[in-house]
Amino acid sequence: MPDEVFQFDNADDSPGFSLWQVSSMWQRKINAGLKPFGITHAQFVLLASLAWLADNEKPITQIDLAHHAKMDVMMTSNVLRTLEHKGLLERQSHPTDTRAKSIVVTGKGRELAKKTVTVVEAIDKAFFSVLGGDASKFNKQLLKLIAIN
C-alpha cells in the first residue's frame, strides 16, 4: 500500500527496483554457470577483464582493473588476492611506477578465463534473447548510465 513516502504507485514502475530484480536474476544464472569452475562472479569479471586488457595494454595495475570493471578498489584488491592465491594471476614490479604493482594473468588464469567467458557469453545470450533486436538498444542505454556515473 503506497503512501506519500513512495514515488511510485506500483513497484514495477521503479526503474531502480526493476534493475535490481533483473540484476539479481542474471547474477544467479551466472553464478550457477561459474560454480563448476570454482570462481565467483566478481572473480570472473576481474580475471576476464585482466585477460582482455593484457591483450590491449601493458602494464595493468589494480587501479586500472578496478576502473575498467567499475568495481570498488578495496573489493578489487581482495578479489585479486584470492585469484593470486589460486595461481590465476601474479603481481610484478611495475616498470615505470615503483609504488605500483603490475598484475599479470598466468597461463592457468588465461585458460580459465577462456573457458568461463564461453560459459558466461552463452548465459548472456540466452538471458537477453527475450529482448530480441532490442538487446543492442538496451546495452546502449546501459552504457549511457555507465558514462554519467
Helix (H) or strand (E) run with residue 105 in it: strand 101-105
Which pLDDT value is given to residue 94?
Answer: 85
**Residue 115 counted as domain residue:** yes
CATH number at residue 137: 1.10.10.10
114 part of a folded domain: yes
In a domain, 7, yes or no: no
Q: DSSP for 83-102?
A: HHHTTSEEEEE-SS-TT-EE
Residue 15 forms part of a structural domain: no
Note if the pTM is more than 0.75. Answer: yes
Beta strands in 39-99 (DSSP E): 89-93
The total domain count for the chain is: 1
Structural domain boundaries, residue 65: 31-148
Residue 109 lies in a domain: yes
Residues of the chain with pLDDT under 70: 1-3, 57
pLDDT at 2: 52
Cα separation, 85 vs 123, in Å, equals 27
Q: Residue 21: inside a domain, yes or no?
A: no
Q: At how many degrees (to 10) do helices 15-34 and 107-128 cross?
A: 130
